[in-house]
Amino acid sequence: MNSQQYFATCPKGLEGLLKTELENLGATDTRETVAGVYFEGDLKQAYRVCLWSRLANKVLLPLGRYDIKSGDDLYEAAISIKWQEHLKPGGTLLVDFTGTNDAIRNSQFGALKIKDAVVDCIRQHASLRPNIDKQDPDLRINARLSRDKLILSIDLCGDSLHRRGYRTSQGAAPLKENLAAAILYRAGWPEIAKQGGALIDPMCGSGTILIEAAFIAADRAPGLERKGFNLERWQQHDPVIWEELITEAKERYRAGIAAGLPEIRGYDEDPRVLRAADSNIAMAGMEEFVRVIKKPLRDFVKPTHTQLDNGLLITNPPYGERLGEVSELGDLYRLLGDKCRQELEGWKAAVFTGNPELGRQMGIRAKKRYKFFNGTLPSELLLIDVEESQFVNAAPESLDPTKATLKGGAEMLANRLKKNLKQMSKWVKREGIEAYRLYDADMPEYSAAIDIYGARDHMYVHVQEYQAPKTIDEEKAIERFKEIQRAVPVALGVQPENISYKQRRRTRGKSQYEKQSQGPATGRPVAKSSGAVAVSKEAPPTGSAWGKWHAEKVVEIDDGSFTVKEGQATFKINLWDYLDTGLFLDHRPTRLRIAQMARGKKFLNLFCYTATATVHAALGGAKETVSVDMSKTYIKWAEDNFKLNNMDLKRHRLEQADCFKWLNECREGFDLIMLDPPSFSNSKRMDGVLDIQRDHVQMIDRCMELLTPGGTLIFSNNLRSFKLDEEALAKYKVENITRQSLDVDFKRNTKIHQCWLIS
């Protein structure tokens, strides 16, 4: 085929870069337009762009340009093309139609008209008609209608070129591969790599930037391992030219590897996204050259295993959309700037962000700014020379948040936390407590609950800020929350990655109060994954030897959770992924009471949550247990708790069901029942609505019917306004044990729950 015009599409904002890339690949007569570049070349040139372009989405071969005033015009335009020269008889096709005009108002209608024309054309020349295949067609037709002009083209690629085939796993907000490549081009990575400079991404996520950087450094064609191009099933395909280009690409890749790659490293604090990065790197065949390591930004230092005098720090840090998130992320960007100044003076830095204002928090001037679009979101790439002349504020006193200097309210809060910690230390040590409430809005202006999990030398902290009254200005509430974030690491000596912050904020418009994701500078990101519980095969020892075994065998679970001990039980705790942590701390005494009461008995736990009370009953010698909860997540969590305690589930049933309905249908008898329902529930999975004030007598009566003679019901709830209907329950022996069910850490908040023994 002689030289002709082609069109390479790309994301908006990459047109100039794509034009340069096409020219470097040998294309001529290049011309930019919105979201693409026209270029001239022969068939080999088009093939080369398909194989080598790191920026394009599609390479299209235009077949004709037509005036369109009606649906019939669409059909006539398409029927005029000799489709038998492009698609074999009996093959499959798909029409991608974009655009509208006064006559064509629906893209599906436009695609149908063109499909009909192609089918009729093929049928006129062969007995077999083509069929539609939306997944993997032999021929993909691109139809673009704009201002009554239709351009019909052959799509030589099929699936978008940005899908290289290596990304099987991803994090929360991954960059597309061609956008990552564009960022690397703008940052000057090809030249830095040729000079032997290193590349480091301190917040690498699932590793897309790292892999694209390795491809560039190794001179590897991005389409080399891609599965299938539509051009290979095109009737005018020239396999000789294509195989020649594939062979050339393989030889260039081998030569690039033989020449050696520079240091390419990524870091992230979230083990889940690092597992995704490892998987992607392996799929890309780059595991020998790209390495990722679990490390929070706070701990980042320049690698010392080899001499790294120059290089590029490149990263796509998170950016916030809500006011509170943006405020928190300023600390992250300041830390990023501090690390650049401390570790990488003389290097280049490139920071890609959807919030350029956050980039100014780094304290280093950007020498250039490039506009991009990340999907539809306007973004900027900040290019920075990490040199003293570009620093715009003084270096920090300390990068360790546990050693920060506190002032004002943050200092007062830290002093209160230290005081509480000291006062509770003897009780915690004497009772072997590993999960307790340290602070519960002791200072009204810092309205939060702060809970401690784990031993003193391996502590985790859970901070839940209570909703601020409407009379409190939102900016003031945000500032107080930041003071909490500054005070907690200093007071408790705990690094930010071991602290989970949850807050509820008033938002404008239709937004509602909601759980917010963890701030990346101060906590682990929220993720929707579940990991397997890491359990030792050997039986755990008892007595003083348990602590050492616990520290060595069951400290952290592979989804980022960890374990704590309570009495003889071990429980899985997750501070980051859910609103609650897996353990209601206020019911510690009740669970320990159940462990003492359960020996030889059959125990029922309704609204069991993660079945922590059931585990205590089982360890206390219960002959059989049943735990019921509506949540599949909590039932799975309960199963993990049994596994952690090496308990056989054959005698301990876990039932996922509507507890109210299950209770009414139950025909079993029990010696001991725990009933701890929510105050109110209208879950879609329930037949009705549960209101504990209205329904508690009915539920208690039904539980009492299931009790064996001499059995006991433990009834509890946390509705502050709750009033037990003593008259309706006068036929039972009712003992209020609320005071006995509150431990030292909840004496300040006696309304946290109410609890009764009923027999």
In tens, the pLDDT along 393-450 reads 755 555 677 888 899 999 999 999 999 999 999 999 999 999 999 999 999 899 999 9
Lowest average pLDDT, out of 63-67, 326-330, 529-533, goes to 529-533
Same domain, 302 and 446: no
Residue 529 inside a domain? The answer is: no
Question: How many other C-beta atoms lie within 10 A of the C-beta of residue 35?
Answer: 15
Question: How many other C-beta atoms lie within 10 A of the C-beta of residue 494?
Answer: 19
Mean pLDDT of the 686-698 span: 83
Q: Tell me how far apart the alpha carbons of residues 623 and 600 are, in angstroms, rounded to a whole number.
A: 5
pLDDT above 90 for 259: yes
pLDDT band at 234 (very low <50, low <70, confident <90, very high): very high
The reported pLDDT for the residue numbered 320 is 67
Mean pLDDT of the 535-541 span: 36
pLDDT above 80 for 323: no
pLDDT above 80 for 326: no
Same domain, 662 and 709: yes
What CATH number is given to the structural domain containing 33? Answer: 3.30.2130.30
In tens, the pLDDT along 485-508 reads 999 999 999 988 889 988 754 444
The reported pLDDT for the residue numbered 559 is 59
Residue 113 inside a domain? The answer is: yes
Same domain, 406 and 380: no
3-state secondary structure (DSSP) of residue 233: helix
Q: Per DSSP, what are the bridge partners of residue 31? A: 38
Q: Tell me how far apart the alpha carbons of residues 344 and 339 are, in angstroms, rounded to a whole number.
A: 7
Residue 538 inside a domain? The answer is: no
Structure tokens at 205: 């996520």
Domain boundary among 100, 120, 155: 155
| Bridge-based pairing state of the strands 435-440 and 448-453 | antiparallel
Same domain, 464 and 429: yes
pLDDT band at 331 (very low <50, low <70, confident <90, very high): confident
**DSSP track, 677-689:** --SEE--TTSSS-
pLDDT above 60 for 82: yes
Mean pLDDT of the 517-540 span: 35
Tell me how far CA of residue 567 lies from CA of 203, 540, 592, in angstroms: 39, 14, 7
In tens, the pLDDT along 442-476 reads 998 999 999 999 977 789 999 999 887 777 787 88
The reported pLDDT for the residue numbered 526 is 32
The reported pLDDT for the residue numbered 395 is 54
Same domain, 633 and 673: yes
The reported pLDDT for the residue numbered 398 is 57
Same domain, 140 and 119: yes
The reported pLDDT for the residue numbered 307 is 86
pLDDT band at 680 (very low <50, low <70, confident <90, very high): confident
Domain region containing 471? 402-502
pLDDT above 80 for 684: no
The reported pLDDT for the residue numbered 53 is 98
Same domain, 619 and 749: yes
In tens, the pLDDT along 566-619 reads 999 999 999 988 889 999 999 999 999 999 999 999 999 999 999 999 999 999
Q: Average pLDDT, whole number, for the chain?
A: 88
Same domain, 18 and 79: yes
The reported pLDDT for the residue numbered 682 is 64
Decide if 539 contacts 646 (C-beta within 8 A): yes
| Residues in CB range of 507: below 8 A, 6 or more apart | 322, 513
Percentage of residues in the chain with pLDDT exceeding 70?
89
Residue 239 inside a domain? The answer is: no
Domain boundary among 502, 529, 547: 502
pLDDT band at 553 (very low <50, low <70, confident <90, very high): very low
Domain boundary among 502, 532, 559: 502
| Residues in CB range of 28: below 8 A, 6 or more apart | 3, 39, 40, 41
Mean pLDDT of the 244-263 span: 96
DSSP secondary structure code for residue 364 in this structure: B
Same domain, 23 and 117: yes
Highest mean pLDDT (candidates 250-254, 300-304, 555-559, 572-576)? 250-254
The reported pLDDT for the residue numbered 509 is 37
pLDDT above 60 for 541: no
Q: In the chain, how many domains are there? A: 4
pLDDT above 90 for 199: yes
**DSSP track, 182-195:** HHHHHTTHHHHHHT
Same domain, 207 and 328: yes
Report pTM: 0.67
In tens, the pLDDT along 735-757 reads 999 999 999 999 888 889 999 99
The reported pLDDT for the residue numbered 688 is 66
Mean pLDDT of the 355-375 span: 91
Residue 57 or residue 648, greater confidence: 57
Same domain, 149 and 188: no
Residue 525 inside a domain? The answer is: no
What CATH number is given to the structural domain containing 588? Answer: 3.40.50.150
Residue 252 inside a domain? The answer is: no
What CATH number is given to the structural domain containing 470? Answer: 3.30.750.80
